[in-house]
Structure 1
Amino acid sequence: MPTLERLSIVVPVFNEEENLPLLYQAICSAMAAIPWVWEVVFVNDGSQDRSGEVLESLAVFDPNHVRVVELRRNFGQTAAIAAGIDHAFGDVIVLMDADLQNDPADIPMMLEKIQEGYDVVSGWRVHRKDAFLTRTLPSRIANGLISWVTGVHLHDYGCTLKAYRRDVLTGFKLYGEMHRFIPVYAHGVGAKIIEVPVRHHPRRFGKAKYGLERTLKVILDLFTVKFLNSYANKPIYLFGGTGAILIFLSTLLLLYLFIRRVFFGIGVLTSPFFQMATMIGILGFQSILMGLIAELLVRTYHESQGKPTYTVRRIIREGVEEPVSLSNTR
């Protein structure tokens, strides 16, 4: 596999003016011994302190390595990460927070894993330096739930420090709080994923931007991710399967009513079970119809935009690896 040499470190920023100079120095120190062409893409997500001024001064001081993307208002961490990825030039994208809790010194180790052939290197904060009840415990519960629902088993979905090959980040858009689910999307296109322990430091300046209310958002986003990852190309399996189960239950209830009528002489139409069976049967039929409509929408989505229903890792012809482009996937 060819050596990748271009790296973009994407850092979403919201009110981190005191942390930014120290973070920049730490990144420069970490990258000093690595023969990669690299850049840092700072995304100013509507900061209300002097973060914008600090970032501008860093871009002027080091124009070869610092790029600043300034959003018009605060759109949230996921949107800021998406903006950074869109404006990055790297073959490998590293995401990290601006609060100095992620350590840039872990980046070289993660790049080694990328060069070993992994598509996603996910950080795992083994010794997390956050409050246990308000941050660590809810995070562990959420990580267990996400791993169980998606089938992608990681200890620390909430750790922003992750490295990705760019080609596994294409083909999907990020909404809500879905940046933490990028490994799930990448797994859906066949990415090779590894989780590695990384350092985690206590916050030195500023305060955390998220609390327990974020847990509810993550759970709601999890429903969307599960549907998109498992049923986006085959919605009839979800809606049709649910409809078939409902119709089967309705049939069992009607059979039960018929047996009661034949052997015990109990009326069918006056039983509340008859009304229940009728409603369940109607819901089952409607669910199957929804699945068929969803199938039409999926086909319209893919065929109108020329989107393939598969992804290609690489193409080898006559012993030589060819670059993968959209035309190769059709």
Structure 2
Amino acid sequence: MQISVVIPLLNEEQSLIELYNWIAEVMRSNSFSYEIIFIDDGSTDGSWKTIKNLSEKDDRVKGIQFNRNYGKSQALHAGFLEAQGNVVVTMDADLQDNPEEIPELYRLITEEKFELVSGWKKKRYDNKLTKNFPSKIFNAAARKTSGVKLHDFNCGLKAYKRDVIKNIDVYGEMHRYIPVLAKNAGFYKITEMEVRHQARKYGNTKFGMNRFIYGFLDLISIWFLSKFGRRPMHLFGSLGVLMFLIGFLSAGYIGFSKLYKLYHGIPNTLVALNPWFYIALTVMIIGTQFFLAGFLGELILRSKRDRERYLIKKTTSNI
């Protein structure tokens, strides 16, 4: 199979048939063998009924329904596990991504030998104040932190070589950082392609300021994991040594000060009245905590087991 199209969605009943017809027309006109995988992330409208009807009419349409809303990352994870195509294309279900971009995305993967191609919505139809401006800040921070030079990390339209999606773990809210996860896994042939962005036709956007905040928190998480995820003791142990060094020097200063005053007959104050005593005590306690955090991180890393992160309620009969 040439192409798997993975589409996570939440309450997009109105757009699904139009999106399916559009994708199918593009695939037919380019003679692609394909499958379309819809992941219903806990929709409360008729999205699942529509997906089920489409799968009954066309066995290339597959559907996965979550028991509740788990988030886009979990939906992509489930779709990636099911995908069988040599090239996997992800897109949103709101008709803002254009299926006519798929042939060029496929060409870049198969002919130009890129491992990941990310869409870049250079001209957007979103609200400039609430979405476009925060996105620019977010993307600049992501480029600086990750070293992956993309203009639009959060674009839903991306194409992957099959090996990429089978060897990365998309969890939490990390769907924004799949290019970074791919780079950390050793897939360095990453590029971007300018794609058309279209105004939302049905329903309301799922974007909110909370996602913008979570995006920056996730950016910090992925930076930490890429640097110290395999050896947490390298970070926490280093901080612990630094704290102990500061505490040791502070304690040494207190001892030297008392000996100096004793030698010169200067009256000594109680150690408890010396502010350096509290500095030494505090940083030594913090140093101990950092060491414990490092040890616990190493233990967790060695004892962790894979756990299911979402509960699938139903699948279509062809899965």
The whole-number CA distance in structure 2 between the counterparts of 1:74 and 1:30 is 30
Alpha-carbon shift at residue 286 of structure 1 (Å):
3.1
Q: Deviations over 1:154-191 (max 9, x none)?
A: 22111111111222223453333211121111111111
Looking at structure 2, the residues matched to 121 and 90 of structure 1 have their Cα atoms a distance apart, in angstroms, of: 16
Aligned partner of residue 32 in structure 1, secondary structure: helix
**Residues 288 and 160 from structure 1, CA distance in 2 versus in 1: closer, same or farther, beyond 3 angstroms?**
same
- Rate the CA distance shift 1:243–1:151 in 2: closer, same or farther, 3 A: farther
Other-structure match for 1:213: 210
TM superposition shift of 1:242: 1.5
Contact 2:80 2:166 in 1 (8 A): no
- 2:232 pairs with 1:229: no
Unaligned runs of 5+ in 2: 307-319
Cα deviations by residue, 1:185-222 (Å, 9 ceiling, x for unpaired): 11111112112211111101111012111122222222
Does the CA contact (< 8 Å) of 2:8 and 2:75 recur in 1?
A: yes
1:125 — aligned with what? 121
Tell me which residue corresponds to 1:165. Answer: 161
- 2:199 alignment partner in structure 1: 202
CA distance in 2, matches of 1:156, 1:205: 23
SS of residue matched to 1:203: coil
Indicate the residue corresponding to 1:68 in structure 2.
63
Partner of 1:138, secondary structure, is: helix
In the other structure, the counterpart of 1:183 is 179
What SS does structure 2 have at the residue aligned with 1:11?
strand
From 18, 36, 39, the equivalent of 1:40 is 36
Question: Residue 10 of structure 1 aligns to which amino acid in structure 2?
Answer: V
RMSD (CA atoms): 2.3
What is the 5 A alignment of 1:68-107?
68-107=63-102
Tell which has more relative contact order, 1 or 2 (C-alpha 8 A, sep 6+). Answer: 2
* TM-score normalised by the chain length of structure 2: 0.84
Mapped to 2, the partners of 1:8 and 1:268 lie a distance apart of 74
Bigger drift between 233-242 and 282-291 goes to 282-291
Distance apart, 1:67 and its partner CA:
1.3
State the 1:260 CA deviation. 4.8
SS of the equivalent of 1:295 reads helix
SS at match of 1:12: strand
Where do 1:304-315 residues align within 5 Å?
none
Alignment of structure 1 residues 143-154 onto 2, 5 Å: 143-154=139-150
Verify: 1:291 aligned to 2:294, yes or no: yes
Q: Distance in 2 between matches of 1:70 and 1:181?
A: 24
Contact kept in structure 2, 1:247 and 1:284, CA below 8 Å: yes
Q: Deviations over 1:117-157 (max 9, x none)?
A: 21111111111110011111111112222222333232211
2:279: which partner in 1? 276
Other-structure match for 1:112: 107
SS in 1 for 2:218: helix
SS for the counterpart of 1:220 is helix
* SS of match in other structure, 1:130: coil
**What amino acid does structure 2 have at the position aligned with 1:19?**
S
| Cα shift at 1:261 | 4.8
Q: 1:54 aligns with which of 45, 50, 62?
A: 50
Three-state SS of the structure 1 residue aligned to 2:166 is coil
